[in-house]
């Protein structure tokens, strides 16, 4: 009945992870988007543990992960028909719905907001863990606050060096960018964070034009200007400017990385870090590429803007966040 697990995850590891969660501990687990750092969503002390592990401000809400769509009725007391429609169409999958919360969702989970973020992940390991645990998992991305999300188990290990949580290693995350967040707290749906479920797909499924989000009504870490950032500075440059800018930086004594297609011709003295040839492989490899920039000790990473269509919107959003002003 159950979906087969990735071969590297024996069932006893899932059972062990579920036991850790029941005891109020943290488990890092793969989803189709990025790795999450999970805790029992109904155990406030456990959820607080996520915040301290990440170094994340306590007023930031976390997404509640559920095994199946029907479970949202336990976490929200008002589910508009369009939210059900999106849930039916895209779950399990890389979509998060922001809905009015029920009393089950505490302030620790929602950051004190009247809403809760809910998502049913499709990754077989996430599904197996949710099934074995038998409850809901509060889980942000398994990285330190403000840093690049992990798309491989070893990224999680690097993030929490010295204080590594139990990690279920499910290999590379297929999507590579965080879920699309659709907000139902206002008058009609709005996209708060673009992802693999595109604006066009959400609009077509809802059969209506999406509202533009009001930044004042939301408080979400992905909404901060600088986020998803490596240590190196990131600059987005138009293709015709790439060589000039790279050469200029090299001349200034900077170690320069260029994120681009394998076929890209780059100036001498720069490091080419491969992103794929199409938007989905670029999305899958972007965060690993940003980590590589730091591993190579580069000062600056240059990337050309993807076309803002389909998945390109999410890619551009994450590049812009990585290139945003630093605090
Ligand atoms: O793909 C994903 O969504 C991954 C995987 C692990 O599921 N999770 C993830 O979590 O990206 P996190 O915490 O890194 O980002 C979740 C975003 C944050 O920006 C958070 O503020 C926002 O969702 N969020 C959660 N609940 C919210 C709410 N009630 N209202 C507005 N934003 C909310
Ligand atoms: Mg995050």
For residue range 281-323, list pLDDT tens digits in order. Answer: 999 999 999 999 999 999 999 999 999 999 999 999 999 999 9
Query: Which residue, chain included where needed, has tokens 């996520």?
Result: 50
Cβ-based neighbour number of residue 162 at 10 Å: 4
Q: Which of 215, 250, 265 delimits the end of a domain? A: 215
Within-domain flag for 327: no
Could you say which of 187, 215, 243 is where a domain stops? Answer: 215
The answer on 247 and 198 residing in a single domain is no
**Does position 215 have pLDDT exceeding 60, yes or no?**
no
Residues 47 and 189 in one domain: yes
Within-domain flag for 1: no
Answer yes or no: is 223 within a domain: no
**How far is residue 134's CA from residue 140's CA, in Å, rounded to a whole number?**
19
Query: Do the beta carbons of residue 307 and residue 173 sit within 8 Å?
Result: no
Residues 165 and 306 in one domain: no
User: How do strand 256-260 and strand 270-274 relate by DSSP bridges?
Assistant: parallel
- Average pLDDT value for residue range 194-201: 98
Average pLDDT over residues 27-56: 97
Tell me which residue range forms the domain holding 303: 233-322
Give how far the C-alpha of residue 136 lies from the chain's centroid of Cα atoms, to the nearest Å: 18
Q: What is the pLDDT of residue 193?
A: 96
- Going through 184-297 in order, the beta strands assigned E by DSSP cover 190-193, 233-236, 256-260, 270-274
Distance 82 CA to ligand 1 centre (A): 20
Same domain (yes/no): 179, 316: no
Q: Give the closest residue to 228 by CA, choosing from 298, 157, 296, 294.
A: 294
At residue 42, the pLDDT reads 98
Q: Do 63 and 117 form a contact (C-beta atoms < 8 A)? A: yes
Which atom of ligand 1 has the smallest separation from the CA of 36?
6
Q: Is residue 221 a part of any domain in this protein?
A: no
- Sign of the four-CA dihedral 221, 233, 286, 290: negative
Our answer on whether the CB atom of 222 is closer than 6 Å to any ligand 1 atom is yes
State whether 168 and 259 are in the same domain.
no
Contact 211, 141 (CB under 8 A): no
For the chain, percent of residues with pLDDT exceeding 90: 83
C-beta 282 within 6 A of ligand 1: no
**Atom 7 of ligand 1 has which residue's CA nearest to it?**
36
36 lines ligand 1 (CB under 6 A): yes
- What's the pLDDT score for residue 225? 54
Radius of gyration of the chain from its Cα atoms, rounded to whole angstroms: 20
Name which residue sits closest to atom 12 of ligand 1, judged by CA: 140
Instruction: Say if residues 16 and 23 touch (Cβ distance below 8 Å).
Output: no
Reply yes or no: is the peptide bond before residue 89 cis, omega within 30 of 0. no
For residue 5, being part of any structural domain is answered with no
- Our count of domains for the chain comes to 2
- Write out pLDDT tens, residues 139-156: 999 999 989 999 999 999
Ligand 1 atom nearest to CA at 113 = 29
**Please, are residues 35 and 142 in contact by the beta-carbon 8 Å criterion?**
yes
Tell me, yes or no, whether 279 and 132 share the same domain.
Answer: no
Q: Is residue 2 one of the residues assigned to a domain?
A: no
Q: Tell me the two tokens of residue 221.
A: 């870490």
Judgement on whether residues 187 and 251 belong to the same structural domain of the protein: no
Q: Give distance in angstroms: CA of 140 to centre of ligand 1.
A: 6
Last residue of a domain, one of 215, 244, 279: 215
Residue 315 is predicted with a pLDDT of: 97
Query: What atom in ligand 1 is closest to the CA of residue 65?
Result: 7
**Is residue 227 in some structural domain?**
no
Domain co-membership, 294 together with 157 = no
Q: Are residues 54 and 138 in the same domain?
A: yes
Q: Which residue carries 């011709």 as its tokens?
A: 265
Residues 135 and 207 in one domain: yes
pTM: 0.95
User: Which ligand sits closest to the CA of 228?
Assistant: 2
Structure tokens at 159: 């993030």
Whole-number Å distance between alpha carbons of 307 and 113 = 34
Same domain, 199 and 265: no
Least confident interval from 113-127, 178-192, 205-219, 230-244: 205-219
CATH number at residue 242: 3.40.50.11030
The alpha carbon of 294 is separated from its chain's Cα centroid by a whole number of angstroms, namely: 20
Percent of the chain at pLDDT exceeding 70: 93
According to the model, what pLDDT value does residue 58 have? 85
In this structure, what token pair is assigned to residue 36?
């999450």
Residue of 252, 315, 247 lying closest to 283 (CA atoms): 315
**CATH value at residue 200:** 3.90.870.10
What is residue 3's predicted lDDT score, i.e. its pLDDT?
Answer: 45
Residue 245 near residue 302, CB atoms below 8 Å: yes
Q: Is residue 69 part of a domain?
A: yes
How far is 174 from 121, CA to CA, in rounded Å? Answer: 12
Question: Are residues 306 and 163 located together in one domain of the fold?
Answer: no
pLDDT at 182 over 90: yes
Q: Which atom of ligand 1 is nearest to the CA of 121?
A: 7
How far, in Å, CA of 25 to CA of 75, rounded?
22
CB contact set of 26 (below 8 Å; sequence gap of 6+):
20, 37, 38, 39, 46, 49, 50, 53, 165, 166
Contact partners, residue 21, CB within 8 Å, separation at least 6? 27, 38, 39, 40, 46, 133, 135, 137
């Amino acid at each position: 009945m159950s979906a087969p697990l990735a071969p590297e995850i024996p069932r006893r590891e899932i059972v062990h992870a579920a036991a850790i969660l029941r005891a109020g501990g943290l488990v890092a687990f793969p989803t189709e988007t990025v790795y999450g750092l999970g805790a029992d969503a109904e155990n406030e002390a456990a959820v607080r543990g996520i915040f301290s592990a990440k170094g994340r401000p306590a007023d930031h809400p976390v997404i509640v992960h559920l095994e199946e769509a029907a479970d949202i009725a336990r976490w929200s007391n008002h589910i508009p028909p369009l939210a059900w429609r999106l849930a039916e169409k895209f779950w399990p999958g890389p979509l998060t719905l922001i809905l009015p919360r029920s009393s089950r969702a505490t302030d620790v989970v929602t950051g004190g907001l009247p809403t809760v973020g809910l998502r049913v992940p499709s990754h077989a390991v996430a599904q197996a863990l949710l099934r074995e645990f038998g409850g809901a998992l509060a889980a942000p991305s398994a990285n330190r606050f403000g840093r690049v999300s992990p798309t491989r188990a070893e990224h999680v290990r690097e993030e929490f060096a010295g204080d590594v949580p139990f990690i279920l290693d499910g290999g590379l995350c297929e999507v590579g960018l965080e879920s699309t967040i659709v907000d139902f707290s206002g008058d009609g749906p709005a996209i708060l964070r673009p992802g693999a479920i595109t604006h066009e797909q959400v609009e077509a499924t809802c059969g209506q034009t999406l509202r533009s989000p009001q930044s004042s009504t939301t408080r979400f870490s992905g909404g901060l200007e600088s986020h998803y950032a490596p240590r190196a500075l990131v600059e987005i440059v138009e293709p015709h400017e790439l060589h000039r800018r790279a050469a200029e930086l090299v001349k200034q004594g900077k170690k320069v990385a260029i994120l681009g297609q394998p076929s890209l011709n780059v100036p001498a003295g720069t490091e080419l870090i491969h992103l794929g040839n199409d938007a989905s492989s670029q999305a899958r490899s972007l965060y690993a590429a940003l980590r590589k920039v730091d591993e190579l000790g580069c000062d600056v990473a240059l990337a050309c803007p993807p076309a803002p269509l389909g998945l390109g919107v999410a890619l551009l959003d994450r590049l812009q966040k990585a290139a945003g002003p630093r605090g």
